[in-house]
Amino acid sequence: MKRSAILWGVLLLLVVMTMGVWGAVVELSRPGQLRVTFLNVGQGDAILIESPTRRQVLIDGGRDRAVLRELGAVMPWWDRSIDVVIATHPDADHVGGLFEVLARYEVQTIFQSGVQNDTLQTESLLSAVSRERSNGAEERLARRGQIIDIGGGAYIQILFPDRDVSGLETNTASIVMRVVYGDTAFLLNGDSPKTIEEYLVLLDGVHLKSNVLKAGHHGSDTSSAISFVGYVSPEWAVFSRGCDNTYGHPHQEVVDLMKRFEIATKDTCLDGRVSFTSDGKSVLAK
Of residues 39 and 150, the one with the C-beta less far from Zn ion: 39
Least Å distance, CB 7 to Zn ion, is 55
If one asks whether residue 70 binds Zn ion (CB under 5 A), the answer comes out as: no
Min dist. Cβ of residue 88 to Zn ion (A):
8
Q: Using CB under 5 A as the criterion, what x/- string covers residues 77-96 for binding Zn ion?
A: ----------------x---
CB of residue 92 to Zn ion, shortest distance in Å: 8
CB of 42 to Zn ion, least distance (A): 11
Among 70, 132, 191, 267, which residue interacts with Zn ion (rule: CB under 5 A)? 191
- Give the residue with the Cβ less far from Zn ion, 33 or 170: 170
- Count of residues of this chain found to bind Zn ion when the rule CB under 5 A is applied: 2
Which of residues 83 and 191 has its CB atom nearest to Zn ion in the complex?
191
60 binds Zn ion (CB under 5 A): no
Please, which residue, 52 or 97, has the CB nearer to Zn ion?
Answer: 97
What distances in angstroms separate CA 218 from CA 10, 167, 238, one per listed residue? 49, 23, 8
Task: Give the list of residues 6+ apart from residue 13 with CB closer than 8 angstroms, or none.
Answer: none
Minimum Å gap between C-beta 44 and Zn ion is: 6
Q: Choose among 213, 270, 233, 205: nearest CA to 40.
A: 270
Nearest residue to 274 via CA among 36, 28, 33: 36
Which CB atom, from 34 or from 58, has the smaller least distance to Zn ion? 58
Give least dist CB 240 to Zn ion, A.
8
Q: Does 197 bind Zn ion (CB under 5 A)?
A: no
State which residue, 114 or 242, has the beta carbon closest to Zn ion.
242
Residues that bind Zn ion (CB under 5 A): 93, 191
